[in-house]
Amino acid sequence: MKQKTSGHDLVLMAFIYTLAVLMLLAVLYPMYFIVIASFSDPVAVNTGRVFVLPAMLTLEGYTTLLETGYIMGGYFNTILYTAAGTFIGLAVNLPAAYALSRKDFIGRKFFNLYFIFTMFFSGGLIPTYLTIQQFGLLNTFTVMVLPFSVAVYHILVARTFFSNSLPPGLFDAARVDGCGNLRFFFIIALPLSKAVIAVIALWTAVGHWNSYFNALIYLREQSRMPLQIILRDILILNQNLATLLRGETAVKAQRTASLIKYASIIVSAAPIMCLYPFIQKHFNQGVLVGAVKG
């Protein structure tokens, strides 16, 4: 017999759904506002006329960005850094996580503490810069994808996933058939860990896509700069130009700077936002499993 829902339960459910909708709007509306503002005239945005739909439609912000020759080069560099950095990050962090998840790994506790120690203490910017300089990595492609590929938090999440998702008897059964650690990792562990691989890949890709600090410190040539630095330089240039000019020319320059501000956010964030829905299922599963204490 179906249990009848009481009036108190209906009120509680209505309150929860209302609260959830309000929270969703609070999160989504700022993103939606940036989208409609990028297609609207800055005068309409500043006067509060842009709220639900764009006003005084214009594509000037996007056309100004595309007219800059460095944009496509920045996109290419960022895609290259993201692809290579994600691959290297997975190749470095997943084997380390698997090794730390094995209870028969000699020195397991020491290496766990060693990795965790680096989350709280580091050499600092200047020693890191001097080290990279001595290795000859300054102003190279490698400096953007290799020196900072180890992410301890990613290792800990993947380690917990391996500990909770791979039964100890599975390796024992594989070892009876002559399967060693290396073969077990590639043939059995990785195919069963698609969820956590998707999580680590997304986190690493987003980190590389949004990265600008390493490029700002370690790169010198404009041709090697990622998209974030290119957009930053364009925005700063237009803002400085607006402060130097006077009269109608200054107003026009300020208008262009406002349009570029919103358009640059969309240009930089859109590719990652389009990628997320395809791995959302694995992402949610991997975060939940990886968050359980091992």
Q: In the chain, where does the domain assigned CATH 1.10.3720.10 lie?
A: 59-290
The fold for domain 59-290 equals: MetI-like fold (1.10.3720)
- Give pLDDT, residue 19: 94
- Give pLDDT, residue 257: 77
- Give pLDDT, residue 3: 58
SS in 3 state form for the chain?
CCCCCCHHHHHHHHHHHHHHHHHHHHHHHHHHHHHHHHCCCHHHHHCCCCCCCCCCCCCHHHHHHHHCCHHHHHHHHHHHHHHHHHHHHHHHHHHHHHHHHCCCCCCHHHHHHHHHHHHHCCCCHHHHHHHHHHCCCCCCCHHHCCCCCCCHHHHHHHHHHHHHHCCHHHHHHHHHCCCCHHHHHHHHHCHHHHHHHHHHHHHHHHHHHHCCHHHHHHCCCHHHCCHHHHHHHHHHHHHHHHHHCCHHHHHHHHHHHHHHHHHHHHHHHHHHHHHHHHHHHHHHHHHHHHCCCC
Per-residue pLDDT of the chain (294 residues; tens, 9 = 90+): 455 666 677 888 889 999 999 998 898 888 889 889 888 888 888 788 888 888 888 888 888 777 776 788 888 999 999 999 999 999 999 999 999 998 888 888 999 999 999 888 888 889 999 999 999 999 999 999 999 999 999 999 899 889 888 887 887 788 887 888 888 898 888 988 888 888 898 889 989 998 889 999 999 988 899 988 888 887 777 777 667 666 677 677 777 777 788 888 888 888 877 777 776 666 655 555 544 444
- Give pLDDT, residue 62: 84
